[in-house]
Chains A and B, each alone.
Chain A
Amino acid sequence: MNLELGFMSAKGFIAFLGLFHTAVASLAIGLAFMVTFAELVGYRYRIRRHDLFAKRTQLFHVCIYNIGTINAIGLVFALSGLFPQFWEQFFVHFHWVMIVEEFIFFLLATTITFHYFFWDYVWGHKKLHLFLGALLTPLFFFQFYFINAVGSFMLTPGNFQEGTLSLSVGVLGWDRLGFFNPSFMMLQLHRVFANISYGGFFIAGWCGIRLYFHSADPVKKAYYEDNGRLSFYVAFMSFLALPIVGFFYSAVLMRNADEAFWNLMMGRGDVVKAGIDLWWLKHLFVAAMVGGGLGYFSRKAAALASGERFSVPNALIYAVAVFYFIYYLCMGLIMTWAFFLWSLAFAVGGYLLSRHMVNYGKGSSRAPFLMMGLLSFGTVMLGGWSREAARPRFDENRHSAYDKLYIPAERQPYLMVDLQPPELTDSPAGAPVAVVAPPNAASLIAGRCVGCHDLQRVRNYRGDDWPKVVNTMVVYGTKLDEEEKRLVVEHLSAGLSF
Chain B
Amino acid sequence: MDLPVIPTPVFDRWVWMEEFTFSHIPIAAVITAWMFLAPILELIGYRKRDLRYDRLSKSLVYFSMILFSPGAALGTGIPFLIIGLYPEFWARWANMFFWPLIFQFILFTMEVLFLFNFYYLTWDKTMHRKRTHIACGFIAALMGELIQLIWDGIGSYMLTPGGVPLPAVNEPVGFSLAGYLNPSFLSLFLHRSFGNLSFTLLLAGGVFAFRHMRHRVPTEKAYYGFAADVTFTLGFLFFFAQPVIGWFYARVIQGEAPVAFIAMMGGHAWYYFIPKLLLILVFVFIAGTYVFVRHRDKPWLLGAISIGLASFYVIFLNHPPLRVFGSPLAWRIAYTAGILGFIAYLWFVRWRGPALRVPGWQIFLLVAGLASTAVFFFGGNMRERVRSPQTVYGWLEKPEATDYERNRFLTYEKCIGCHIRSPRDLVLPAGETWNQRVAAEARRPEVSLSDEEVVRIASYLEEVDK
Tell me the A residues contacting B by CB distance below 8 Å. Answer: 1-3, 59, 62-63, 65-67, 69-74, 76-78, 80-81, 84, 87-88, 91-92, 95-96, 98-99, 102-103, 105-106, 108-110, 112-113, 117, 167-173, 399-400, 402-403, 417, 419, 427-429, 431, 433
Contacts and interface: CB of A to CB of B under 8 A. Distances in A.
Contacts of A63: 112, 116-117, 121
Contact of A173 (B62, B84, B116): B84
Given A66-B112, A70-B72, 4 more contacts: A71-B109, A73-B108, A74-B106, A84-B91
A402 B105 contact: no
B69 A110 contact: yes
Interface stretch (B2-10, B128-136, B297-305, B362-370): B2-10
Please classify the interface of chain B as helix (H, G, I), strand (E, B), loop, or mixed, using the class held by over half of its residues: helix
Contacts of A112: 69
Interface in B1-45: 1-7
Contacts of A81: 94-95, 98, 101-102, 172, 174
A95 B13 CA distance: 13
B170 A113 contact: no
18 contacts: A3-B98, A62-B65, A65-B69, A69-B72, A69-B76, A70-B109, A73-B72, A74-B108, A81-B101, A81-B102, A84-B95, A88-B4, A117-B62, A168-B2, A171-B5, A403-B1, A428-B5, A429-B3
Nearest to B71: A109
Contacts of A1: 170-172
Nearest to A70: B108
B75 A73 contact: yes
B87 interface: yes
Contact of A73 (B4, B68, B79, B98): B79
B247 to A, nearest CB: 35
A88 B4 CA distance: 8
B169 interface: yes
A433 B3 CA distance: 11
A201 to B, nearest CB: 23
A102 B65 CA distance: 20
Contact of B7 (A76, A106, A167, A417): A417
B78 to A, nearest CB: 9
B76 A80 contact: no
B101 A106 contact: no
A399 B94 contact: no
A400 B66 contact: no
Contacts of A169: 2, 4-5
B83 interface: yes
A81 B171 CA distance: 11
Nearest to B73: A109
Contacts of A117: 62, 65-66
Given A73-B108, A402-B169, A428-B88, A108 B73 contact: yes
* Top-10 shortest CB links A-B: A400-B170, A95-B84, A74-B105, A81-B98, A102-B77, A109-B69, A3-B172, A109-B73, A77-B101, A80-B94
B210 to A, nearest CB: 19
Contact of A91 (B6, B88, B109): B6
Contact of B4 (A78, A80, A168): A168
Contacts of B69: 62, 65-66, 69, 109-110, 112-113
A170 B84 CA distance: 11
B109 A67 contact: yes
A86 to B, nearest CB: 12
Given A72-B76, A91-B87, A402 B95 contact: no
Interface of B: 1-7, 62, 65-66, 68-70, 72-77, 79-81, 83-85, 87-88, 90-91, 94-95, 98, 101-102, 104-106, 108-109, 112-113, 116-117, 121, 169-172, 174, 397, 399
A427 B80 contact: no
A170 B277 CA distance: 41
Nearest to A415: B4
Given A77-B79, A112-B69, A2 B109 contact: no
Given A67-B112, A109-B72, A168-B2, A99 B105 contact: no
A374 B62 CA distance: 33
Contacts of B169: 84, 400, 402
Nearest to B4: A171
A88 B89 CA distance: 12
A77 B94 contact: yes
A56 to B, nearest CB: 11
B70 A106 contact: yes
A88 B170 CA distance: 12
Contacts of B90: 80
Nearest to B95: A81
B84 A399 contact: no
B102 A78 contact: yes
Contacts of B98: 3, 77, 80-81
A66 B4 contact: no
Contacts of A170: 4-5, 7
Contact of A76 (B65, B76, B84, B91): B76
Nearest to A94: B84
A22 to B, nearest CB: 16
A66 B2 CA distance: 36
B77 A106 contact: yes
B159 to A, nearest CB: 21
Contacts of A73: 72, 75-76, 79, 105, 108
A416 to B, nearest CB: 10
B83 A80 contact: yes
Contact of A88 (B75, B81, B87, B112): B87
A35 B286 CA distance: 47
Given A81-B101, A399-B172, A172 B73 contact: no
A392 B171 CA distance: 26
Contact of B174 (A3, A59, A66): A3
A429 B1 contact: yes
B70 A109 contact: yes
Contacts of A429: 1-3, 88
A167 B76 contact: no
B77 A99 contact: yes
B361 to A, nearest CB: 29
B79 A402 contact: no
A81 B174 CA distance: 8
B2 to A, nearest CB: 4
A24 to B, nearest CB: 11
A431 B2 contact: yes
Contacts of A78: 102, 105
Nearest to A172: B6
B83 A88 contact: yes
Contacts of B4: 88, 91-92, 167-171, 173
Contacts of B106: 74
A172 B6 CA distance: 6
